[in-house]
Amino acid sequence: MSFTVCIIGRPNVGKSTLFNRLTGKKHALVDDRPGVTRDRREGVARIADMEFKVIDTAGLEEAEKDAIESRMMEQTLLAAEDSDLCMIVIDGRAGLTPEDSFFANWIRKKHQSVILIVNKCEGSQGDYGLNESYKLGFRDIVPISAEHNEGMADLYDAIAPYKAQYDYEVGDLEVGEEAEGGDKFIQVAIVGRPNTGKSTYLNRLYGENRLLTGPEAGITRDSISIDWQFEGKNIRLIDTAGIRKKANVQQKLEKLSVADSLRALRYAHVAVLMIDSSMPFEKQDLSIAETIANEGRAVVIALNKWDLVKDKKEVLKELKYRADELLPQIKGVPLITISALNGENIEKVMKSALQAYNVWNKRITTSKLNDWLRDAEGRHLPPLGKNKRRIRLKYATQGNTRPPTFTVFVNRPEDLPASYRKYIENALREDFSMPGVPLRVMFRKNENPYGKKK
């Protein structure tokens, strides 16, 4: 538990810019057009010595009941209810608008702790809006420029009393066990093509409509992280925007969304690749899987919308075969059939993700590794080298984990064919039970200690 501050306001007043300023990272997508932010994004904010949780939200705007803007409004309301303090932001350059007045009255009824932020006040540009802002009747009014880092000291002074009261009444509470890899949180990124059900899955897993969903493809734009607990472990779930084929991504905003998804993947420990069971293993699915493997992340494949598949047994058998054929770099990757909409097998994915995380951190002792190497060599002798003598595998070591990385020392590595290298990798994966994790196996020549030194 930590002191939580929610940033709200109408579209395009600089909420995401303020979020990025407070967190010190450009994680929230920022663009000149209004309505870029859709889901609520959480981060750790710091101003001088003060630290707290901050939530960026979608712009407040009136909309029809079934419209996506209405669902965005619901997400903002939930964020406000979960917060200890609300900061409503207005545009100092534009001055006070009827929408600002409407939503100021709206949040006053919903929350008792509110600070009014007048943004874009660099120099004297926001004086007009600042003077008008006093009409709203808030006690705490802070002029800032989030873009130019102005007014942060005044913002600190405005937030400090609310945080001090929270610390006095509640205090901080640490919960959850540390993961086996030493991580405070196991970071699990949900990735895949657009409209495969990533956000629906996270909502079902989390137990509430935490993320915006709907029939429209591409609703998620930012990578949204949610801190959660599963089987006593601290999990950081990361929902990402759908990744389409690069040639089909034309607009600047979608390019930013895809780049944000790939960045989230780089920082994840485990990737859950969400695939639509009615259109499995399309070219883009394979491309995303290859990216995951290249990044060295542990992988679990979730076959969503399984309730729509008719001949389930035969289809699953075929998909398992295709997975091993098409994804040799993560051979044996778990395939979990789920229905995010109906809640079928949703926790099974997370159990597999925890198992994959443990494999990703697996370390094998040198003695066990070399006993195995002798056995693997005996089962399938290395071929002859170009000098007509048999290639010898001398010894092996594990140099790293995350992913497991091994070095096999060979007298003539340049003569070792790709087929035998693949045999060693597959045997290593199978004999030490490391499915669904990319392995790094390098073959090197050990130096002759009695040879001539250059």
Q: Are residues 9 and 154 in the same domain?
A: yes
Which of 112-126, 230-244, 253-267, 331-345 is least confident? 253-267
Q: Are residues 217 and 334 in the same domain?
A: yes
Q: How confident is the model at residue 65 (pLDDT cuts 50, 70, 90)?
A: low
Which of 188-192, 194-198, 357-361, 446-450 is least confident? 446-450
If you average pLDDT over residues 49-54, what whole number do you get? 91
Q: Are residues 221 and 351 in the same domain?
A: yes
Q: Are residues 44 and 89 in the same domain?
A: yes
Instruction: Please give the pLDDT value at position 254.
Output: 55
| Residue that is written with structure tokens 């990757």 in the block | 333
Q: What tokens were used for 119?
A: 């943004």
Q: How confident is the model at residue 4 (pLDDT cuts 50, 70, 90)?
A: very high
d(Cα 2, Cα 309) in Å, to the nearest integer? Answer: 44
Q: Are residues 12 and 125 in the same domain?
A: yes
Domain that holds residue 284: 186-360
DSSP codes of every residue in 112-128: S-EEEEEE--STTTTHH
If you average pLDDT over residues 209-214, what whole number do you get? 56
178 found inside a domain = no
φ and ψ at residue 339, rounded to 5 degrees:
-130, 100
- 78: pLDDT strictly greater than 60: yes
- 190: pLDDT strictly greater than 70: yes
423 found inside a domain = yes
- 54: pLDDT strictly greater than 50: yes
3-state helix, strand, coil in the chain (%, to 5): 40, 20, 40
Q: Are residues 370 and 333 in the same domain?
A: no
Instruction: Please give the pLDDT value at position 30.
Output: 45
Q: How confident is the model at residue 12 (pLDDT cuts 50, 70, 90)?
A: confident
Task: Identify the domain boundary among 360, 386, 419.
Answer: 360
Q: Are residues 341 and 391 in the same domain?
A: no
Q: Are residues 231 and 324 in the same domain?
A: yes
Supply the DSSP symbol for 435: T
- 2: pLDDT strictly greater than 90: no
Task: Identify the domain boundary among 325, 341, 360.
Answer: 360
CATH number of the CATH domain containing 95:
3.40.50.300
pLDDT tens digits for range 280-294 = 888 899 999 999 999
Q: Are residues 216 and 157 in the same domain?
A: no
- Count of CB atoms within 10 A of residue 168's CB? 8
179 found inside a domain = no
Q: State the total domains in the chain.
A: 3
Q: Are residues 160 and 263 in the same domain?
A: no
d(Cα 192, Cα 165) in Å, to the nearest integer? Answer: 43
Contact by Cβ (8 Å): 229, 176:
yes
301 found inside a domain = yes
Q: Are residues 371 and 343 in the same domain?
A: no
pLDDT tens digits for range 127-147 = 878 899 999 989 999 999 999
Instruction: Please give the pLDDT value at position 454.
Output: 46
pLDDT tens digits for range 307-323 = 999 999 999 999 999 99
- Count of CB atoms within 10 A of residue 214's CB? 13
- 66: pLDDT strictly greater than 90: no
Q: Are residues 355 and 396 in the same domain?
A: no
Q: What tokens were used for 320?
A: 């398992």
Q: Euclidean distance between the first and final Cα of the chain, in Å?
A: 61
CATH number of the CATH domain containing 415:
3.30.300.20
Q: How confident is the model at residue 245 (pLDDT cuts 50, 70, 90)?
A: low
Task: Identify the domain boundary among 360, 378, 398.
Answer: 360
pLDDT tens digits for range 365-417 = 999 999 999 999 999 999 999 999 999 999 999 999 999 999 999 999 999 99
d(Cα 354, Cα 347) in Å, to the nearest integer? Answer: 11
